[in-house]
Structure 1
Amino acid sequence: MFVFACAGCGSRLTVPLSQVALPTHAHQKYGNGIRLPVLMESGTFAVEPEPWGPPWRRWEEVTPEEATARGIHAAVYSLSDGAPGSIVIAPGDSRGMVFLPEEGGGYCCGLAWGDGPNMACEACGVPVASRIDDCSLWQAVWLAPDAVRRLPADDTDTGTGTGPGSAFGSGSGSGPAPLGWAELLADEYGTPPVEPVVSWASARGMDHWWSWSPQWEAAAGQALAHMLAASDGRSVTVPPGLTSEVFRRALDALLPAVLPARRAVLAGPGLPAPGPDADMLLVPMHPQTGELWSPADAADPPAPVDQVDRAAAAYRVPLPFGVWIRMAYPEPRLRLPAPGAIPAGVLRDDPPAPRPRHPFRIDSGTFERTLVRLPAVRSDWLHDILENLTHHMCAGLF
């Protein structure tokens, strides 16, 4: 467990927090006028390793050498010139900070990125963070990496911290080891694919409708970019059911019907070992570490060595664990033991989940951010997809 303190005066700015992986939807902008919930779970923080936040530079101002050094392989609208290592927390976990109204941005329905931090240390007045809660943005507090320092939660002397900007440092408060895949599989319920979306139009929050989950749309954007990059320009098949409903329309529209098709399958803890003909594995990311599940992580029953080697050669497509588990195990599992099974011939009396009003659409922003960071985007056909992204949005794919 760690706390973050002001680098200027040492005042503590957060409650004790545990580090988790940065959510795939951290930088998502969803819809128009939508009231999104808090990004981070209470008691957690995540680190953005890339520069993020103001000031921003237009693509025309970035040299090819600088773009390559930052891992950007295709043109984007703008790049952040901020410091790498921004720390994101839940707003309710912040302490000892006050707003700087003159530095705020947004103001459509709340606060967004302005020209710099819009929150200051209450003790010394140094700007330390940006509160984000404008419409269509995930609510969060982003701590400026050069204005805070990370301390073990049990360290009562703020002067013994790891130093300004050391968001990646370790200490005696690192906490327990990450959960194993089997433990995650037993405890994780997953992210529902469909959920009510609320608009700011109603002060009482009554203006809502059932829609595809924003988290699912962002996860699909990341995964689709990897699937296209690994396709070699050939068609891709995916498992039937929910996985097909998420990816099938986009894959059929963006890839030519070139055979033999490449095969993408779900793989991960608790699932059978993927067959030798799998070209891509849709695998979960560990929610605490961000690491991808590997066929070598399969424990019981162990697969033959040659089968593991073939599966290890397949391209691993990342999915957030909460999304992956609902694709791999579509039926929600009871969180508490039930006293018995439903008798034969008795139908369930709970209503089915409401259906969205439109087919699944992939988050274009997450898709673009992922694809431009994959070297395969340099190919002409993938570059054309980026160039025609607005057209694909109008067609309802994104």
Structure 2
Amino acid sequence: MVVFACAGCGAVLTAPVSRIALPVHARQSYGHVLLPALMEPGTYAVDPEPSGPPWRRWSEAGVADEAEARGVFAPVFALSFGAPGAIVVAPGDTRGTVMIPEWCDGGCMGLDGRGGPNLACAQCGQAVGTRIDDCSYWQTVRLVPHAVRRLTTDAPAHRTIGWQELAEERQGTPPVEQSGGWNPRWQAAVGVALAHMLAASGGAPVAVPGGLVADTFSRALDALLPPGPRSKQAALAGPGLPAPDPAADIVLVPRHPQTGEAWQPSGTAETVPLAADVWIHLAFHHEWLPVPATGGMPDGVLRDDPLPPYPLGLFRPDSELFVHTLARLPAVRQPWLRRIYDQVKGHPYARPF
């Protein structure tokens, strides 16, 4: 494990943390509620994208020419020209920092970080990070990469879980919350995967397996891709599952929560990474059967205490993350996919979002 220290005076600024992949919902804004911390305690992630001010609008001279070098292949409202590589930690894992009052901007219930770093090293006063805890945002502290340095500690790092062990644990995230709303983490994960699936489709209609996969993907694919014979087949593939049908053109595979790497199947099918906690639920959690039983209640039978959560409405992928992801895929330069990008970007709440 490591700690992060102030680059100016060497004061330790975090508890010991181990690196994991940046969660796919890191850039999600959701609802009008206070969300929990993005990162699990004792972990950190590195954001590979530039973030924070200065921002430049796409309409400004020269921005479009510089965008591709920053991994953006379609117009966005504004492009960050901040430094890439922000270190993302849970607010509870910070140590020895104080707020910078004049930079504590917020929109409603807390800090949104719009003005840049609002945390300083308590020992020397150097600006070292940005705390974000406003409503609609997953709570984080983003340490400025050039303002901190990483120090190795004696504490053992978290062990990297193997693919097979990940499948055997089967600790997926349920898709529906007790309130009846779809879990925002599912909306984020599917929004990101949907962008990759569209790119893999080549513009052809795509058929997906029935059940929860269809509930979360089919409506969007049918709305965004042209009608006609379903010429491409998608399937789930990954550790713990039988080999996918050789006829599958696209396979939904898990993205490792620690390394960020996508599981690699054999064969030539296009792979679409999906957040592991969502993929595990799709792969291994099946709906209970509403059948009568006598005597004791056997496993797998629908129970009425507590009632299983069912959604109150149709599933809607996160449109902001869909657009964000699609803009960063080189395939968006193809005219058919660029039309979809422009359509969703211009009308982010239209069907199926």
**TM-score interval, normalised by the smaller of the two chains:** over 0.9
Q: Equivalent residue for 2:146? A: 146
Q: Which range is displaced more, 105-114 or 90-99?
A: 105-114
- Whether the 8 Å CA contact 2:170–2:284 is kept in 1: the answer is no
1:153-188 CA deviation, whole Å, 9 max, x = no partner? 23xxxxxxxxxxxxxxxxxx7835511111112234
Alpha carbons 2:57, 2:63 under 8 Å: kept: no
Show CA shifts across 1:241-269 (max 9, x none): 11100011111111112335211100001
Which residue is 2:47 aligned to?
48
Alignment-derived partner of residue 63 in structure 1: 63
Deviation, structure 1 residue 332:
9.0
* Residue equivalent to 1:372: 327
- Residue in 1 that maps onto 2:309: 354
Kindly provide the amino acid, as one letter, of the partner of residue 13 in structure 1. Answer: L
Tell me, yes or no, if the aligned pair for 2:168 and 2:240 is still in contact at 8 Å.
Answer: no
SS state at 1:283 partner: strand
- CA apart distance, 1:146: 0.9
Shift of 1:394: 3.5
Query: Equivalents in 2 of 1:93, 1:332: separation in Å?
Result: 38
1:211 aligns with 2:181: yes
Aligned residue number for residue 280 of structure 2: 325
Aligned residue type for 1:366: L
CA contact (8 A) 2:58 2:64 kept: no
* Alignment partner, residue 205 of structure 1: none
Taking structure 1 as reference, are residues 346 and 106 closer, same or farther at Cα in structure 2, changes over 3 Å only? Answer: closer
Q: Which residue type is aligned with residue 44 of structure 2? A: F
**Deviation sequence 1:16-42 (CA, Å, 0-9, x none):** 0010000001011113x2221110000
Report the CA distance shift for 1:346/1:124 in structure 2 as closer, same or farther (over 3 A): closer
- CA–CA separation in structure 2 for the residues paired with 1:347 and 1:281: 30
Distance 1:194 1:317 in 2: 23
Instruction: Tell me the residue number matched to 1:179.
Output: 161
Q: Which amino acid aligns with 2:134?
A: D
Once residues 64 and 396 of structure 1 are traced to their aligned partners in structure 2, the CA distance between those partners, rounded to angstroms, is: 29
- 1:345/1:95 CA distance change after superposition, 3 Å: closer
Contact 2:167 2:239 in 1 (8 A): yes
2:337 is aligned with 1:387: no
Give the Å deviation of 1:232. Answer: 1.5
Q: Cα distance, 1:390 vs. partner? A: 5.4
Q: How many residues of Structure 1 are paired with residues of Structure 2 in the alignment? A: 345
The alignment yields a C-alpha RMSD, in angstroms, of 2.1
What is the correspondence of 1:108-147 to structure 2 with a 5 Å cutoff? 108-147=108-147
Query: Does structure 2 retain, via aligned residues, the 8 Å contact 1:264–1:280?
Result: yes
Over the matched positions of the two proteins, sequence identity in percent amounts to: 57
Map of 1:202 onto structure 2: none
AA aligned to 2:176 is V
d(CA) in 2 for partners of 1:76, 1:188 = 38
Distance 1:380 1:138, change over 3 A: same
Contact 2:320 2:348 in 1 (8 A): no
What residue in structure 1 maps to residue 292 of structure 2? none
**Cα 1:397–1:343, aligned 2, differ >3 Å: closer, same or farther?**
closer
* Whole-angstrom CA distance in 1 between matches of 2:255 and 2:46: 16
* 1:290/1:344 CA distance change after superposition, 3 Å: closer
Q: Does 1:38 align with 2:37?
A: yes
Structure 1 runs of 4+ with >4 Å offset? 341-347
> What's the offset of the Cα at 1:345?
11
Residue 286 of structure 1 corresponds to 256
Q: What is the CA distance between 1:12 and its match in structure 2?
A: 0.2
* C-alpha separation in 2, matches of 1:315 and 1:242: 21
**Counterparts of 2:224 and 2:185 in 1: how far apart (Å)?**
22
Q: Secondary structure at the match of 1:382?
A: helix
The residue type equivalent to 2:73 in the other structure is H
* 1:397 pairs with 2:345: no
Report the Cα distance in structure 2 between the residues aligned to 1:344 and 1:182, rounded to whole angstroms: 24
SS where residue 177 of structure 2 aligns? strand
* AA in 2 matched with 1:285: R
Superposition TM-score, scaled by structure 1 size? 0.82
| Equivalent-residue separation in structure 2 for 1:107 and 1:243 (angstroms) | 36
For 2:28 and 2:37, how far apart are their aligned partners in 1? 12
TM-score under structure 2 normalisation?
0.92
1:194-343 correspondence to structure 2 within 5 Å: 194-196=176-178, 209-295=179-265, 308=266, 311=267, 313-331=268-286, 342-343=297-298
What residue identity is the alignment partner of 2:341?
A: L
How far apart are the structure 2 equivalents of 1:332 and 1:20? 31
- Give the 3-state SS of the residue equivalent to 1:54 in structure 2: coil
Q: State how far apart, in whole Å, the 1-side matches of 2:97 and 2:280 are.
A: 38
Q: Would the alpha carbon gap of residues 47 and 343 (structure 1) be closer, same or farther in structure 2, given more than 3 Å must change?
A: closer
Matched residue, 1:5: 5
2:291 is matched with: none
Gaps of 5+ in 2: 289-295
Secondary structure at the aligned position of 2:282 is classed as helix
CA distance in 1, matches of 2:12, 2:150: 10
Asked whether the equivalents of residues 37 and 90 of structure 2 are also in contact (C-alpha less than 8 Å), the reply is: yes
